[in-house]
Structure 1
Amino acid sequence: MNQHDPVNQLDPADQLARALAFRRLHEEPRPFVVPNPWDAGTARLLGGLGFAALATTGAGLAYGLGLPDGGNRVTRHDVLANAAVIVSATHLPVSADLESGFGETPDEVAETIRLAAAAGLVGGSIEDSTGRAEDPVRPLDEAVERVAAAVAAARALGFPFTVTARAENFFQGRPDLPDTIRRLRAYEAAGADVLYAPGLPDAESVRAVCAAVDRPVNVLMGSPALALSVADLGELGVRRISVGSALSRAALGAVVRAAEEIRTQGTFGFGAQALPYPEVNALMTATAPTAPTATED
């Protein structure tokens, strides 16, 4: 850790309580939705709407910085600084999109987990993508070593940091379900707490992934291609649901539509869909949710 790394403002007991609360959510009989804020304001809004946990979005952060997602354009420092801001804005557990671990070696992935914990996070995902268009997914043996390093670093912390392992085949244009399942099983064997294959195309592929592993499965929603409800996903065996960059893209879509209305029609009807000024102020000044209690029960 160096002087430029984010500083954890959480009391250790608070971080432990958040970590235990996050673990318990994965044990509930019905799946839970973990929405993805991209700054302190959206974290406060989502926390105030009653969600039980939050997760950062690398793509949403990139868009907020005026960058395209992918290609390793957003640095580890950017991601962890953003995560620390989100953690400080809520009493909810926060997990992070840690990309592919921000390093080419397992040791660098392990350091990313330690720095994520130091930023106040209680979980994070490590994906098997490379960021290279010509070779987008890592060889399985290499990917497993990286997941194992992340798990070892997490287990050495003073609280249960939840490691999510992501198989990126479908997200990277490689719609190979058998290989995706093979990868998720290998990441489970390496100790990952949660398994995740973003971009699954239909209910049957979701069902197949959930049936193939024994750890909780996270599914990415927000795409019209996978039009399933929370109840539908629960029936398929899903334990956690995230929306990735979809909320940030929905917000950008609202801005584009409003701007187009102004530019092309010279009208301002979009204001009817905006949150009223007093309501936004109230949401931003409302008392933060009560911190969870650190118990194993």
Structure 2
Amino acid sequence: MTDLATRARTLLDLHRPPELLVLANVWDVVSARVVAATPGVRALATASHAIAATFGYEDGEQIPLDLHLDMVGRIARAVDLPVSMDLEAGYGDPGETARRAIGVGVVGGNLEDQLRPLDDAVAAVEAVLRAGRDAGIDFVLNARTDAFLLAEPGADRGALLAEAVRRGQAYLAAGAPVVFVPGVVSREEIAGLVAGLGRGRVSVMSVPAASPPGRELAELGVARVSTGPFTQRVALTALQDAAAELVAGGTLPGATRSLS
């Protein structure tokens, strides 16, 4: 467990400002190895949506937990970097799911609140952190609030920001080191999250053609940026484009590299 404890501490330290932790989410062993071998990469995070899609399941805990954990364990064993898992909403038992994730080599994870009553959401955060302590590691919980992601169309953005901050402050008070707020891409809203939660406490998702670049996120005081399912979509876009070029009479891209 010492190695896991060291990886957990390394992952936690990577959230310290002023540097931004950049996580290009992975979904299988080959994607993990390719990302891990990229200069500058210091940790990995899995994407539940992408892993589910790999096996033909929809997102939202539709993939069986055993299958999900099997893939994440394969990823963790294939690399020498700390691995954070997307725990989704905890599969009905966040503490037990975190315990099992730690058992396959995971040292951190996302946990969705799905806008459950705040007391219930805080209890889930506490259960995950307790699983880490029981295993002898400082589990790096990226406590996710869905205040923006699950908002009704046309909802007041100021009210959503206030709710995200309210929930995030509760998760930080419960011991989570960082709060993940997907659905936020504007500089103003990101700055509002940092003002409400603190520098080095906010995690966001990079959305193609919408999110600020990493250097600006670092300047705003964001701790962590991840890509969710978008890295898999980048890979699949390249695959479909190559297939279209082939069937149109062309050839594969000349810049293709041997990465597997």
The separation in 2 between residues aligned to 1:253 and 1:63, in whole angstroms, is 14
**1:26 matched residue in structure 2:** 15
The separation in 2 between residues aligned to 1:13 and 1:188, in whole angstroms, is 26
The separation in 2 between residues aligned to 1:151 and 1:17, in whole angstroms, is 16
The separation in 2 between residues aligned to 1:260 and 1:271, in whole angstroms, is 12
Indicate whether 1:94 and 2:83 are aligned. yes
What is the SS of the residue equivalent to 1:121?
coil
- Say what the alpha-carbon RMSD is for the aligned residues: 1.7
| Contact 2:185–2:207 (Cα < 8 Å) also in 1 | no
**1:216 matched residue in structure 2:** 201
**1:116 matched residue in structure 2:** 101
Indicate whether 1:139 and 2:117 are aligned. yes
| Contact 2:52–2:68 (Cα < 8 Å) also in 1 | no
Counterpart amino acid of residue 249 in structure 2: G
Give the TM-score normalised by structure 1: 0.80
User: What is the Cα deviation at residue 28 of structure 1?
Assistant: 4.3
What is the SS of the residue equivalent to 2:204?
strand
What is the SS of the residue equivalent to 2:210?
coil
Q: Which residue, out of 218, 240, 256, partners 1:274?
A: 256
Unpaired runs of 5+ in structure 1? 1-11, 130-136, 282-297
Q: Which residue, out of 105, 110, 134, partners 1:125?
A: 110
**1:233 matched residue in structure 2:** 217
| Contact 1:75–1:102 (Cα < 8 Å) also in 2 | no
Indicate whether 1:248 and 2:238 are aligned. no
Encode CA deviations 1:102-156: one digit per residue, 9 max, x unaligned: 10xxxx2111111111111111111112xxxxxxx32222212211222222222
User: What is the Cα deviation at residue 96 of structure 1?
Assistant: 0.5
In the TM superposition, 1:1-297 aligns within 5 A as 12-50=1-39, 51-70=41-60, 72-103=61-92, 108-129=93-114, 137-174=115-152, 176-214=160-198, 216-226=201-211, 228-263=212-247, 265-268=248-251, 270-275=252-257, 279-281=258-260
Counterpart amino acid of residue 274 in structure 1: T
User: What is the Cα deviation at residue 80 of structure 1?
Assistant: 1.4
Counterpart amino acid of residue 208 in structure 2: S
| Contact 1:79–1:98 (Cα < 8 Å) also in 2 | no
The separation in 2 between residues aligned to 1:16 and 1:43, in whole angstroms, is 21
Q: Percent identity?
A: 36
| Contact 2:18–2:221 (Cα < 8 Å) also in 1 | no
Encode CA deviations 1:170-206: one digit per residue, 9 max, x unaligned: 2224452211111111111222121110110301111
Counterpart amino acid of residue 213 in structure 1: L
| Contact 1:99–1:126 (Cα < 8 Å) also in 2 | yes
| Contact 1:261–1:267 (Cα < 8 Å) also in 2 | yes
Q: How many residues align?
A: 252
| Contact 1:211–1:237 (Cα < 8 Å) also in 2 | no
The separation in 2 between residues aligned to 1:172 and 1:224, in whole angstroms, is 21
**1:287 matched residue in structure 2:** none
User: What is the Cα deviation at residue 52 of structure 1?
Assistant: 0.3
Encode CA deviations 1:203-250: one digit per residue, 9 max, x unaligned: 111111111114621111033222x12210011110111111111011
Higher mean C-alpha deviation, range 143-152 or range 242-251: 143-152
